Each structure stands twice: as C-alpha cells, then as structure tokens.
Structure 1
Amino acid sequence: MNAASQTTKTTFLGLDVVRFTAALMVCFYHLAYWWWRPDLATTGGGGFRDGIQSPVSAAGWIGVPIFFVLSGFVIAYSAQQRSSSNFLKGRISRLYPAAWICASITVVSGILFSAEFELVRYLNSIILNPLGPWVSGVYWTLAVELVFYVLVAIVLWVAGAKYLHSFAILLGSWSMAYWGLKVIQDFVGFDLGINLQIAGDYEYLTLSRTGCYFALGMLLWQTTKSGWTPFRLLFASGLVLSGLAANVGAARTYLLVDPLGAAPLLLPAAIWLMALAAMYCSVHFAEAINAVLGSQRNVIRSLGLATYPLYLVHSELGRDIMLSLTNLPAYLALWLTILALVALSLGIVELEKLIRQPLTSLLHGQARKNDARR
C-alpha cells in the first residue's frame, strides 16, 4: 500500500494522542503556573496566592504551537477533493457549536464566581470575532485559525487543492522571513531599521509568527502523498528553525517577566521537537501505531475530539473550580479540576452534536438554494 492510499483509509490515532497531550500541557500551564504568578495574585488579577507554580508547568504554553502544526496537517488533509464552500461549511460546523457552548459555560462560571459579565466579550466569542476581546484569552488562537482557514478557502476557490502545497511554501516563506529578521534584530542585536509589528496589536492576524507552524503541518501532509524531496527537506528545516526561534524567543520573554518561575530557556523548544517527532511517526507509521493502540481506539478518538472544548473552557473555568477548592491541598485541587474539565469536555462533544446536525443541514440547505438561484 502506498502512502497516498494509506492516508485516505487510516485514522491517525497517534495524532489524537499528541493533540490531547498538548491540551493537557496547556491546562497545566494555566492552572499550575499562570494563575499562580505573583503579579496576578497580588494585583487582584484573580490568581492564587500559594501553591504549585513550577518551571515545568510553565513550559505548557508550547502546546499551542503544537496545535498549530497539527492544524496545518489536518486542514491540508481535509481540504483534499473539497470545494471552497464545502471546506468553509465544514470548518463552521466544526468550530462554532463548541464555541457557543464553551463561551456560555465560561460566562456562567464568571457570573457565579466573580459576578462579572461583559456582553461584548460574550458576543465576540460566539461569533469568533478575530479582533476580540473574548470571554477567555485562549480564543486568540481561534482568530489565528480562522485567518488560516480563510486563506485556504481562497486558494481552493481560485486554484484548487493541488495548489495548497504552493500556498504552504508561500506562507512558510513569509513566516521564515519574519523570524529571520526577528533573530537578526532581537537575538543578534543588529538594528535593521525594520518595524516587524506592521499590524500592531493585531500582528497575530498576519500569520507572520505562526505561519511556520501551519506550513510545517501542511508539508507533513504532502510527504504522505509524494514523499520527501531535497527541496522539502531544506524547506522543512527552515520551518523547524523558525519554530525554534519563535519558541526560544517566547521562553526568553517569559524568563524576563518571571525569572524564578518561568520554564528553562530551551525546555519548550525541546518539547516541541519531541512533539514533531511524534507527529511524524504518527503519520508515517500510522498502521503500526494503530495496531498498538487499536484496543483503545474509541477512548483515544473521544479524547481527541474533546481537545477543542477542553482548550476553550479550561482556563477561566478551571481557575474558578480551583478557587472553590482552596480547602484542599493544591495538587489535589489541580488534579480534581483537570479531571472535571476532561469529563465536561467529553460531555460537550456529545452536546455539540445536537447543534452541529441542524447547523450542517442549514448550511447545505442554503447552499442548495444559492445553486438553484444561479
């Protein structure tokens, strides 16, 4: 069986394991580091005053770059043989139901625990407004994802799926150029006189920082179809180096803010490289991995699907749960909170199915009406 035919028939259970692990890392980052930061605890930011902040949990933010690489792979895979409109409808039915449920849960939690409610944040969250503000800071990644999806849809509309590889090269080159200049100016210290913040507070929407991750995931998908070439190896190396620059740069910033509690400089980058290796093996040795994990297939698939709602609800809701468990030892409160969040996320997966079905029918029904008018 060749790689191309294999990928059309195989479920990548290994990727579900990587995805869920990355989600747990982000959970630990917020619940065992972020909300324990002294600046939050002492300035009324809602943080905890004693407990479990550690350099290891402080590296958990690296789960987000891992998500972006996974997204690049999944989107390149799912966009095959699909029209631009069908691709967008698929993304809408995948993203919005869980966002509606999770934003509502976060709002209810905020009202119950802190009596806070801002309508504009809630509305921005349920429509996934890329500009924010949202009910939780984690929604910024959805803004980045939406920009990426729109660009992919444009490529499908203008040129078709066969040009997604070219798009990955353009997106990756854009991001590599950004990080190359960033290294020269910020790491080496040579002032090029170039303003890299061309979009100010909305720089994240340009994909200059994150494009290397998406492009790397798309390139990984391409190798399952037609293997590695010298150019792909060289290009992938550049993307990995750009990702390392991004990860080390972020880790350095955290160390400047929190020199005692932040993660060691190279730890997030090391975790990211291990995740890339796991993704590669999950894709190129899928059959062998599925044979090992096959007995737990349903559990692994369920946890993979629960990753998205878990990511959306874990920070603010997890903080509120832990604040209600202050009579327990910090580590016990942490584990009980994470277990509760995972259980809730599994429930959300089932609940969102009740919304997705009519939403999908509505989207496809409207599409048929539009086709009839033409």
Structure 2
Amino acid sequence: MTATAGAPAPSSTGQGGGPADDAGKESADTGPISAISPADSPVSPVSPASPTAARPLPPALPQTPTPSPEGSRPSRNAPVRLRALDGLRLLAALMVAAYHYGGRGGEISQAWGSSPREQFPTASTYFAYGCLGVQIFFVISGFVICMSGWGRPLRSFFASRVSRLYPAYWAAILIVTAVFALPWVAFKSVSPSDTLVNLTMLQQPIGVDRVLGVCWTLWAELRFYALFALFVVLPGANRQRVILFCAVWTLGAALADAANQPFLELVLMPQYAPYFIGGMGLYLIHRYGHDALAWGIVGLSFLIGQHYAVAELWHAPNPSFFSYRSTLGIVAIVAFGYLAVALIALGKFHWANWRWLTLAGALTYPFYLVHEHLGWVVVEVLHQKLNIPSYGTFALTILLMLFLAWLLYRFVEQRLTPVIKRSLTAVRVR
C-alpha cells in the first residue's frame, strides 16, 4: 500500500491494504478489500444446512436457487445470511489496519514520531503480516460476487456494484482531502484536478495521484467485476459457465504472466486472479455441494495464489528492511483465508448467527476506505500531542475509525445507495 496519498500504485498483491471488495450493503465482498455489502453477499440464496432462520433477501437477490442445467444437486432452498462471512471481512480489514499502523514504515512513522518497530517491538513483527488481509478480501469477493450475480440481469448487477462502491468512496475522498488541507496537517495532499479524477475510481489507469492509498485494491475489484459481468452475468450464470470462466481465466492469467505483456497482465491480473477464482470455486461448493471440479478450482487457485503472495512479500533477512515475513507464515495466512471461507461455504459456521456481525460487515468497507490516511492524523494527535501510550493510541484509533465508518454507513450509504440503485435500474418509458 502506498505510504502517502498520491504515491504510485503498488505492483504487488500484498504490499497494500485491501478490500474493497467488498461486503457492505450490496455484496458480501471490495472490497473491496472487496466492496461487499450486507445486502449482496452474506445473504445466500442457497445454503447447505441452516439451523437458524435468516433475514429475507433483498429484492435484488434471488430467493431460490436457479435450476442447474447440468443436473447437479443444488443446496437447500432456505435463504441464509452468512454472518460469519461478515465477521471474516471485518477481521481482514483489522489485519490491514494493524499493518498500516504498526507493520510498516512511511508516513505512519512520522505520525508516531518514530518507527512503529520502536513503538511495538514485538507486535510489529506480527502486524507486518496484516497486509495479507487483502488476499482474504479477494477470496471473499470471488465468493460474494458469484453469489450476488447469480440469476441477476446485467443492468441489475451493474447497479448493485455502482451503488455499493461509490457513496462511501466519494465521502472518503472528500473527507481525506478536506482533512489533509488543514494547515496543521503535515501530510501531502493531491492536486484539486487529481482529486476530481479520483472520484471516478479510475485514477490508476489514468496515471494520477491517489487520494486513498487503499484504492489500488478497488481497481483490482473493478477489473474482476468487468470480467465476471462480461463472461458470466451477461450470458447468464450457471455452474458450467462459472467453471469454464474459472478455467479459462486461470490459464489466461498464467499465459499473461509468461508472455510479460503489460496489457494482458493489466486485464487478467495474474497476481490477483487466483484469489477471486478460488472464491468462485468455493461458492460453487456452497451452492451445489462437494464437487471434484469445484474443489479442483479451489486447490489450483490456492497453489498459485500462495506463490504470488510469497513472491511479493518474502525477502531474505535484511536489517535495512522494516520487516521480515517467513515463507511459512505467508503461506499459512493465505491458507487460513481459503480455509475460513471454505468452512463458511460448507455451513460449519451457521452457529455464528449474531446480528452484530451484520453491522460489522456493513462497517468493513467504509472503515477500510478511511482508516489509513485519517489514521495518520489521529495517531499523531493522540500519541504525540496527547501523550497517550502506543497501544492505547492504536486501540483508540481503531475505535475512532470504526465510529467514522458507522457514520458513513448510517448517513451516506444507507441514504444514497438505494437512491443510486433505483436510478440505475429504473426503466424509462418513452
């Protein structure tokens, strides 16, 4: 992730923070770090066995499973909200926040007044692994987008994504820009022109400075949405089509990496594709039960995904680097993300049906958007000006960012998302 607003986008999978994908009110994704929303993702139209009755699905989501043309066994029909997925999303976001506050250098060192390694001599070693929350976000996003796009026409899918991603994002852009413009805030802000471009969420391909460091993951999410919409939603989602899409994307991403062609790498995202593909495979297992092809997709995507995570985050021990992550630690956290989503997909966490998890999932996306850059300002005020100890500052900053996320959810997302969705799905009569 970038250390400053406006820094160039990272080229690696794990060096930033992520999620846009996505869960919140329209998806369970980036999220970005996945943008997922309570309405789209955690509510599953088909779940293997649910001990508890769940909330009714929002109108945009199907209440019953689409019949499988291949004759595969669909799951039971009772709609179930996958609240454990909401909780996992928040956990991934907190991992990224720990990384940004105590697991890396850059502007956060300026906020603390010294390196986070001095502030957290032991914990900083573990905080450095928090950037892998992005990979977990992407796996969740693959699961949620596959679920939310099932049985949905392209127009509805487009409206759900736009209405979910943009309201909190616009608010975060404006808030961070306003705060960084304050005379006593020392952190760099981007130019007014670049700020306006940032409102489109296309600042990275255009090549302008970013207001939010975490928005590189949203760019990955947008490309995933476009591929999924074109090859799955547009022709109509079914098991065979999703399996074919996963297979072709896996092979295409590998060939793009081997060919070293920037355009192919930009479109097919070889370093991120395995996580989205793995999430889609896990949704097929959730929807249709155990299946050799679906498990093959998940297994292959994990094997490739852990390679990219290690390639981007591992380096030989070097005292001049802020942190050292072991190969085993990186692989273990990636495996944890796949395993956690797999257990949720198989219904092993239906007992985790607490209502507060739905709110936790709703706060994940706005929290992810605002926590990094505004966190620098809050840490500096609490630690250097109010002399609050490091761990107290860390905890208070997390709580304040969660409170701001709640304000964005309550007064921005809940008000604007339905309006934007209705506007985009309304049929005009001539």
- Shorter-chain TM-score bucket reads 0.7 to 0.9
Is the contact made by 1:172 and 1:216 (CA closer than 8 Å) also made in structure 2? no
Residue of structure 2 equivalent to 1:359: 420
Alignment deviations for residues 316-339 of structure 1 (CA, whole Å, 9 cap, x no partner) = 011111011222212211111011
**CA–CA distance in structure 2, aligned partners of residues 267 and 2 of structure 1:** 32
Residue of structure 2 equivalent to 1:328: 388
Is 1:126 aligned to residue 126 of structure 2?
no
CA gap 1:159/1:197 in 2 versus in 1, 3 angstroms:
same
Is the contact made by 2:282 and 2:295 (CA closer than 8 Å) also made in structure 1? no
Identify the structure with the greater helix proportion.
1
Aligned-residue offset at 1:205: 4.7
Aligned-residue offset at 1:117: 4.5
Alignment deviations for residues 346-365 of structure 1 (CA, whole Å, 9 cap, x no partner) = 22111221111221222123
- After superposition, residues 152-163 of structure 1 pair within 5 angstroms as 152-156=228-232, 158-162=234-238, 163=241
**CA–CA distance in structure 2, aligned partners of residues 120 and 245 of structure 1:** 39
Residue of structure 1 equivalent to 2:225: 149
Aligned-residue offset at 1:255: 5.9
Q: Which amino acid aligns with 2:195?
A: Y
SS at match of 1:290: coil
Residue of structure 2 equivalent to 1:312: 369
Give the aligned length: 343
CA gap 1:2/1:148 in 2 versus in 1, 3 angstroms:
closer
SS at match of 2:210: coil
CA gap 1:6/1:157 in 2 versus in 1, 3 angstroms:
closer
**CA–CA distance in structure 1, aligned partners of residues 283 and 193 of structure 2:** 38
- After superposition, residues 75-114 of structure 1 pair within 5 angstroms as 75-112=145-182, 113-114=185-186
Is 1:300 aligned to residue 362 of structure 2?
no
Aligned-residue offset at 1:67: 0.4
SS at match of 2:367: helix
**CA–CA distance in structure 2, aligned partners of residues 146 and 273 of structure 1:** 25
**CA–CA distance in structure 2, aligned partners of residues 5 and 232 of structure 1:** 14
Residue of structure 1 equivalent to 2:213: 137
Residue of structure 1 equivalent to 2:34: none
Decide which moves more: 107-116 or 147-156: 107-116
SS at match of 2:125: coil
Residue of structure 2 equivalent to 1:49: 114
Aligned-residue offset at 1:240: 0.7
Q: Which amino acid aligns with 1:331?
A: Y
Residue of structure 2 equivalent to 1:188: none
Decide which moves more: 1-10 or 148-157: 1-10
**CA–CA distance in structure 2, aligned partners of residues 157 and 328 of structure 1:** 51
SS at match of 2:394: helix
**Overall identity of the aligned pairs, in %:** 27
Aligned-residue offset at 1:235: 3.2
Residue of structure 2 equivalent to 1:349: 409
Is the contact made by 2:256 and 2:265 (CA closer than 8 Å) also made in structure 1? no
Is the contact made by 1:13 and 1:301 (CA closer than 8 Å) also made in structure 2? yes
**CA–CA distance in structure 1, aligned partners of residues 153 and 89 of structure 2:** 27
**CA–CA distance in structure 2, aligned partners of residues 215 and 234 of structure 1:** 11
Aligned-residue offset at 1:233: 3.0
**CA–CA distance in structure 1, aligned partners of residues 266 and 328 of structure 2:** 23
CA gap 1:230/1:364 in 2 versus in 1, 3 angstroms:
closer
Unaligned runs of 5+ in 1: 182-193
**CA–CA distance in structure 1, aligned partners of residues 195 and 77 of structure 2:** 39
SS at match of 2:350: helix
Aligned-residue offset at 1:93: 0.5
Aligned-residue offset at 1:219: 0.7
**CA–CA distance in structure 2, aligned partners of residues 66 and 306 of structure 1:** 17
Aligned-residue offset at 1:251: 1.8
Is the contact made by 1:178 and 1:209 (CA closer than 8 Å) also made in structure 2? no
**CA–CA distance in structure 1, aligned partners of residues 141 and 294 of structure 2:** 19
Decide which moves more: 145-154 or 166-175: 166-175
- After superposition, residues 1-374 of structure 1 pair within 5 angstroms as 3=48, 4-6=74-76, 9-34=79-104, 37=105, 48-50=113-115, 51-52=119-120, 54-112=124-182, 113-114=185-186, 116-129=189-202, 130-131=204-205, 132-156=208-232, 158-162=234-238, 163-177=241-255, 181=258, 196=260, 198-199=262-263, 203-253=265-315, 259=321, 261-285=323-347, 289-291=349-351, 293-294=352-353, 296-297=354-355, 299-325=356-382, 326=384, 327-351=387-411, 352-365=413-426, 368-369=427-428, 372-373=429-430
CA gap 1:316/1:255 in 2 versus in 1, 3 angstroms:
farther
**CA–CA distance in structure 2, aligned partners of residues 256 and 138 of structure 1:** 26
**CA–CA distance in structure 2, aligned partners of residues 104 and 255 of structure 1:** 40
Is the contact made by 1:174 and 1:211 (CA closer than 8 Å) also made in structure 2? no
CA gap 1:61/1:267 in 2 versus in 1, 3 angstroms:
same
Aligned-residue offset at 1:155: 2.0
Unaligned runs of 5+ in 2: 1-45, 49-73
What's the TM-score, normalizing by structure 2?
Answer: 0.73
Aligned-residue offset at 1:135: 0.4
Decide which moves more: 317-326 or 104-113: 104-113
